[in-house]
Structure 1
Amino acid sequence: MSVLFVTATGTDVGKTYVSCALIRALRAAGRPIRAFKPVVSGFDPAEAGASDPGRLRAALGPDAPSLEQIAPLRFAAPLSPPLAAQMEGVTLSLDQLEALCRDQMAGDAPLLIEGAGGVMSPLTDSETNLDLIDRLGVSAILVTGSYLGTISHTLTALEVLKARGVPVAAVVMSESENAPDLAETAAGLSAFMPDIPLFTAPRDAGGWDASALARGLSF
């Protein structure tokens, strides 16, 4: 089964924006796709549609599974998952998160798994998104911003993924607010990673067309 893990250089750089655009592009091309976000924090049931899993569900279309199926672990506090879970009397474990992902990976269509925060953001008291990706043995899409300093952050994340032997299918630079020119920043980054496909995701009013990314993925 084809599985890609969408991770990032940090929090709020555009993982869900990129994931939703990719889902829409795959569906427009007639390709099946599912989405899963095992844990989310900062979740407000009153604003479920605007949440990360709510946006993923909308991108999946009318036949999408329930929000509870897309994101089974939802916590209210806008903190890292282990801290948000602790505030509700829950202790997260990597075994639990892996089992949830593997249940989804057993499905009959390609799957996007979206992490929480950056590649080195904590998922449990002692483990990170990287540990989960490593356990699952899947390839990653790395999302980064276009802000000043992003080249260093992106190359650092790529080195960490490489050290664990995680294949990177693509890097997507999601446009940041009040940032340097997107194309120029992407060109500066691409010189340091000639063997990894790099895509730019502008924040256009109509949303980013991710069809080029979709075509480039053996997925």
Structure 2
Amino acid sequence: MTVLFVTGTGTEIGKTVVTAAIAATSLTVGFSVAYLKPAQTGIGPDEPGDADEVSRLVGFELTGVELARYPDPLAPATAARRAGLPTVGPAEIAEAAAKLAAVHDIVLVEGAGGLLVRFDEEGSTLADAAKMLGSPVLVVTPAGLGALNTAALTADALRARALSCAGFVIGSWPDNPDMPARSNLADLPAYTRNPLLGAVPAGASALTPDAFRQAAPGWLAPRIGGLWDADAFTAIWTSVI
């Protein structure tokens, strides 16, 4: 898959770290990778954004592109309106991704919040941009209580739009997962009708770039370039429910 869209079931659940893990895994085996952030919200003009964080974690040369930035920590359409700045529509996102795909092996497009967060006043979403390119969408989910419902809703929204779901990745797997988190490992594929493709450990963003690159393949399934075994991981943790 040349262009992969990365969304989440909500905000602050590990999308950027998961995206960085995919980038690191791909770069390590020699692929050229570009990272595209259509709209960065909640930070000022001189503050580091998600593109900077991905580059920091990867520690390799990475093409990072940000199309728009808004200071308020809101949905892009709302943040743009409050700031009096232009919005970013799906055609602009798709065009930028296609241009990057022409000169890179892999393009990772990270959305803002969940799949149906609005990017412009017409109500366009990341799903509309993915539809224009016919690209798959990877969904990042939290581990614990409540994850099954939001994951199932996101999967249903993708199916309703005839979009391909690459699968789900747990964005922050705790050191000592509680019973709901352990149970969700077994239930997520059934609820979403899509595979579980990885689990990134909590605190991964604190690793050095070298340690992050070395560990990243072990967090991701082969379908997205890694070595992680969903069945083995699930068996380990569900055996203690």
TM band (smaller chain): 0.7 to 0.9
Q: 1:192 to 1:54 in 2, by over 3 A?
A: same
Match of residue 76 from structure 2: 81
Q: Does 1:104 align with 2:110?
A: no
* Of 113, 124, 149, the match for 2:146: 149
Number of aligned residues: 214
Q: 1:100 to 1:183 in 2, by over 3 A?
A: same
* C-alpha distance after superposition, 1:190-213 (max 9, x if no partner): 333465243222214545933152
Aligned mates of 1:43, 1:170 — CA distance in 2: 30
**Given that residues 33 and 62 in structure 2 are in contact (C-alpha distance below 8 angstroms), is that contact kept between their aligned partners in structure 1?**
no
**Given that residues 167 and 194 in structure 2 are in contact (C-alpha distance below 8 angstroms), is that contact kept between their aligned partners in structure 1?**
no
Match of residue 63 from structure 1: 61
Aligned mates of 2:194, 2:85 — CA distance in 1: 42
Q: Please, which moves more after superposition, 202-211 or 158-167?
A: 202-211
Q: Which amino acid aligns with 2:116?
A: M
Q: Which amino acid aligns with 2:223?
A: G
Match of residue 117 from structure 2: 121
Partner SS state of residue 109, structure 2: strand
Match of residue 30 from structure 2: 30
Aligned mates of 2:113, 2:225 — CA distance in 1: 25
Q: Note the residue ranges of structure 2 that are not aligned, 5 or more in a row.
A: 227-241
**Given that residues 146 and 180 in structure 1 are in contact (C-alpha distance below 8 angstroms), is that contact kept between their aligned partners in structure 2?**
no
Q: Note the residue ranges of structure 1 that are not aligned, 5 or more in a row.
A: none
Aligned mates of 2:105, 2:183 — CA distance in 1: 37
Partner SS state of residue 115, structure 1: strand
* C-alpha distance after superposition, 1:1-39 (max 9, x if no partner): 711101111111111010111211222233332211121
Percent identity over the alignment is 28
* Greater RCO, 1 or 2 (C-alpha within 8 Å, sep 6+): 1
Aligned mates of 1:179, 1:149 — CA distance in 2: 14
**Given that residues 22 and 225 in structure 2 are in contact (C-alpha distance below 8 angstroms), is that contact kept between their aligned partners in structure 1?**
no
Q: Does 1:202 align with 2:209?
A: no
TM-score by length of 2: 0.77
Q: Which has the higher strand share?
A: 2
CA RMSD of the aligned region, Å?
Answer: 2.7
